[in-house]
Amino acid sequence: MRRRGSEAADGGDITWCDGTGEATGLPDRAADIVVVAQAFHWMDGARAVDEFCRVLRRPGRVALMWNVHDVTVPVMARYRDIMLQHATDPPRSPWYSGFNDALASTSDRLTFSVERFPCEQRVSRPGLHGRAMSSSYIPLEGNPGHDELVVALDALFDDEASDDVLTLHYETSVYIAAVEA
Protein backbone atom coordinates (compact mmCIF):
# COMPACT_ATOMS: atom_id res chain seq x y z
CA MET A 1 0.00 0.00 0.00
CA ARG A 2 2.76 2.43 0.82
CA ARG A 3 4.59 1.92 -2.45
CA ARG A 4 1.40 2.12 -4.50
CA GLY A 5 0.18 5.16 -2.61
CA SER A 6 3.49 6.93 -3.08
CA GLU A 7 3.50 6.19 -6.80
CA ALA A 8 -0.12 7.26 -7.16
CA ALA A 9 0.51 10.47 -5.27
CA ASP A 10 3.38 11.26 -7.62
CA GLY A 11 5.15 13.17 -4.89
CA GLY A 12 1.91 14.76 -3.67
CA ASP A 13 0.83 15.52 -0.14
CA ILE A 14 0.08 12.02 1.11
CA THR A 15 1.77 11.25 4.40
CA TRP A 16 2.03 7.62 5.48
CA CYS A 17 2.34 6.64 9.12
CA ASP A 18 2.25 3.39 11.05
CA GLY A 19 -0.76 2.89 13.24
CA THR A 20 -3.91 0.93 13.95
CA GLY A 21 -7.56 1.85 14.15
CA GLU A 22 -7.19 2.07 17.91
CA ALA A 23 -3.94 4.10 17.82
CA THR A 24 -3.47 5.94 14.54
CA GLY A 25 -0.48 8.03 15.57
CA LEU A 26 -2.22 11.13 14.19
CA PRO A 27 -2.35 14.36 16.19
CA ASP A 28 -5.57 15.51 17.87
CA ARG A 29 -8.16 16.99 15.49
CA ALA A 30 -6.10 16.15 12.39
CA ALA A 31 -8.87 14.84 10.09
CA ASP A 32 -12.31 15.79 8.82
CA ILE A 33 -13.42 12.23 8.13
CA VAL A 34 -12.41 8.71 9.10
CA VAL A 35 -13.23 6.01 6.54
CA VAL A 36 -12.81 2.35 7.36
CA ALA A 37 -13.53 -0.09 4.53
CA GLN A 38 -13.88 -3.81 5.23
CA ALA A 39 -11.89 -3.62 8.47
CA PHE A 40 -13.80 -2.24 11.47
CA HIS A 41 -14.81 -5.73 12.61
CA TRP A 42 -11.09 -6.44 13.21
CA MET A 43 -10.80 -3.51 15.62
CA ASP A 44 -11.72 -3.10 19.25
CA GLY A 45 -14.81 -1.03 18.44
CA ALA A 46 -14.91 1.11 21.57
CA ARG A 47 -11.17 1.90 21.48
CA ALA A 48 -11.28 2.65 17.75
CA VAL A 49 -14.21 5.05 18.15
CA ASP A 50 -12.36 6.81 20.97
CA GLU A 51 -9.43 7.25 18.58
CA PHE A 52 -11.66 8.45 15.73
CA CYS A 53 -13.24 11.06 18.02
CA ARG A 54 -9.79 12.20 19.15
CA VAL A 55 -8.40 12.71 15.62
CA LEU A 56 -11.51 14.31 14.09
CA ARG A 57 -12.00 18.07 13.78
CA ARG A 58 -15.53 19.20 14.58
CA PRO A 59 -17.85 18.58 12.99
CA GLY A 60 -16.36 15.31 11.82
CA ARG A 61 -17.69 12.18 10.18
CA VAL A 62 -17.02 8.48 10.49
CA ALA A 63 -17.90 6.10 7.66
CA LEU A 64 -17.64 2.33 8.03
CA MET A 65 -18.18 0.24 4.90
CA TRP A 66 -18.56 -3.42 4.03
CA ASN A 67 -19.47 -5.41 0.97
CA VAL A 68 -21.80 -8.10 2.31
CA HIS A 69 -22.68 -11.22 0.32
CA ASP A 70 -26.16 -10.88 -1.17
CA VAL A 71 -27.26 -14.46 -0.54
CA THR A 72 -30.69 -13.77 -2.03
CA VAL A 73 -28.85 -14.30 -5.33
CA PRO A 74 -28.28 -18.07 -5.78
CA VAL A 75 -24.71 -17.75 -7.07
CA MET A 76 -23.74 -15.79 -3.95
CA ALA A 77 -25.47 -18.25 -1.63
CA ARG A 78 -23.42 -20.99 -3.28
CA TYR A 79 -20.20 -18.93 -3.10
CA ARG A 80 -20.79 -18.24 0.60
CA ASP A 81 -21.46 -21.94 1.27
CA ILE A 82 -18.17 -22.83 -0.46
CA MET A 83 -16.30 -20.24 1.58
CA LEU A 84 -17.80 -21.46 4.87
CA GLN A 85 -17.18 -25.10 3.99
CA HIS A 86 -13.47 -24.43 3.40
CA ALA A 87 -12.86 -21.87 6.14
CA THR A 88 -9.88 -22.68 8.35
CA ASP A 89 -11.12 -20.31 11.08
CA PRO A 90 -14.61 -18.96 11.58
CA PRO A 91 -14.91 -15.86 9.38
CA ARG A 92 -14.86 -12.57 11.28
CA SER A 93 -16.41 -10.59 8.45
CA PRO A 94 -19.70 -8.86 9.23
CA TRP A 95 -21.77 -11.22 7.11
CA TYR A 96 -20.79 -13.98 9.51
CA SER A 97 -20.10 -12.60 12.97
CA GLY A 98 -18.55 -9.90 15.08
CA PHE A 99 -19.98 -6.88 13.33
CA ASN A 100 -22.93 -6.19 15.59
CA ASP A 101 -20.77 -6.62 18.69
CA ALA A 102 -18.21 -4.13 17.36
CA LEU A 103 -20.89 -1.56 16.53
CA ALA A 104 -22.78 -2.12 19.78
CA SER A 105 -19.62 -1.31 21.70
CA THR A 106 -19.72 2.20 20.19
CA SER A 107 -23.37 3.05 20.88
CA ASP A 108 -22.57 5.28 23.86
CA ARG A 109 -20.29 7.45 21.65
CA LEU A 110 -21.77 7.45 18.15
CA THR A 111 -25.12 6.80 16.53
CA PHE A 112 -24.79 5.39 13.05
CA SER A 113 -27.26 5.67 10.21
CA VAL A 114 -26.92 3.12 7.44
CA GLU A 115 -27.21 3.31 3.68
CA ARG A 116 -27.24 0.17 1.53
CA PHE A 117 -26.41 -0.11 -2.15
CA PRO A 118 -26.34 -3.06 -4.53
CA CYS A 119 -22.87 -3.81 -5.83
CA GLU A 120 -21.55 -6.29 -8.37
CA GLN A 121 -18.05 -7.59 -8.96
CA ARG A 122 -17.37 -9.22 -12.30
CA VAL A 123 -14.50 -11.70 -12.14
CA SER A 124 -12.63 -14.09 -14.40
CA ARG A 125 -11.69 -17.56 -13.14
CA PRO A 126 -8.35 -16.26 -11.78
CA GLY A 127 -10.22 -13.28 -10.34
CA LEU A 128 -12.60 -15.61 -8.49
CA HIS A 129 -9.63 -17.50 -7.08
CA GLY A 130 -7.96 -14.25 -6.05
CA ARG A 131 -11.15 -12.92 -4.49
CA ALA A 132 -11.57 -16.07 -2.41
CA MET A 133 -7.89 -16.24 -1.41
CA SER A 134 -8.00 -12.64 -0.15
CA SER A 135 -10.25 -13.79 2.71
CA SER A 136 -8.29 -14.25 5.92
CA TYR A 137 -9.97 -17.54 6.83
CA ILE A 138 -9.31 -19.43 3.57
CA PRO A 139 -6.45 -21.95 3.16
CA LEU A 140 -3.72 -20.60 0.92
CA GLU A 141 -1.80 -22.61 -1.66
CA GLY A 142 0.21 -25.41 -0.08
CA ASN A 143 -2.09 -25.70 2.94
CA PRO A 144 -4.59 -28.48 3.61
CA GLY A 145 -7.96 -27.82 2.00
CA HIS A 146 -6.67 -25.36 -0.61
CA ASP A 147 -6.92 -27.73 -3.58
CA GLU A 148 -10.47 -28.76 -2.62
CA LEU A 149 -11.44 -25.09 -2.39
CA VAL A 150 -10.09 -24.42 -5.89
CA VAL A 151 -12.05 -27.39 -7.27
CA ALA A 152 -15.26 -26.05 -5.67
CA LEU A 153 -14.62 -22.53 -6.99
CA ASP A 154 -13.93 -23.90 -10.48
CA ALA A 155 -17.21 -25.86 -10.39
CA LEU A 156 -19.05 -22.68 -9.38
CA PHE A 157 -17.39 -20.76 -12.20
CA ASP A 158 -18.13 -23.51 -14.76
CA ASP A 159 -21.79 -23.65 -13.72
CA GLU A 160 -22.49 -19.94 -13.35
CA ALA A 161 -20.12 -17.90 -15.55
CA SER A 162 -21.26 -16.31 -18.77
CA ASP A 163 -18.71 -15.31 -21.43
CA ASP A 164 -15.91 -16.31 -19.02
CA VAL A 165 -17.13 -13.83 -16.39
CA LEU A 166 -18.82 -14.59 -13.09
CA THR A 167 -20.83 -11.85 -11.41
CA LEU A 168 -20.65 -11.74 -7.63
CA HIS A 169 -23.47 -9.85 -5.95
CA TYR A 170 -22.99 -7.79 -2.80
CA GLU A 171 -24.81 -5.21 -0.78
CA THR A 172 -22.51 -2.35 0.17
CA SER A 173 -23.47 -1.20 3.65
CA VAL A 174 -22.20 2.23 4.70
CA TYR A 175 -22.56 3.20 8.36
CA ILE A 176 -22.24 6.96 8.89
CA ALA A 177 -21.96 8.92 12.13
CA ALA A 178 -21.37 12.57 12.94
CA VAL A 179 -18.97 13.66 15.65
CA GLU A 180 -20.19 17.05 16.84
CA ALA A 181 -18.84 17.64 20.32
- The reported pLDDT for the residue numbered 181 is 76
The whole domain housing 140 covers 2-179
Q: Which residue intervals of the chain are DSSP H helices? A: 2-9, 45-55, 74-86, 99-104, 125-133, 146-160
State pLDDT tens for residues 130-164: 999 998 889 999 999 999 999 999 999 999 999 99
State pLDDT tens for residues 35-73: 999 888 888 888 999 999 999 999 999 999 988 899 999
Bridge partner list, 103:
none
Where residue 116 sits, what CATH number does that domain have? Answer: 3.40.50.150
CA 161, 70, 68, 86 dihedral sign is: negative
Number of domains in the chain: 1
Judge whether 95 and 172 are in contact, CB under 8 Å: no
For the segment 70-77, the average pLDDT, to the nearest whole number, is 96
- The reported pLDDT for the residue numbered 137 is 87
State pLDDT tens for residues 86-114: 988 766 665 554 556 666 667 677 888 98
Specify the amino acid at residue 132. Answer: A
pTM attached to this predicted model: 0.79
State pLDDT tens for residues 10-20: 556 677 788 99
Judge whether 35 and 65 are in contact, CB under 8 Å: yes
Q: What radius of gyration, in Å, describes the C-alpha atoms of the chain?
A: 19
What is the length of the chain? 181
For 168, how many CA atoms within 13 A lie in the half-sphere containing its CB?
21
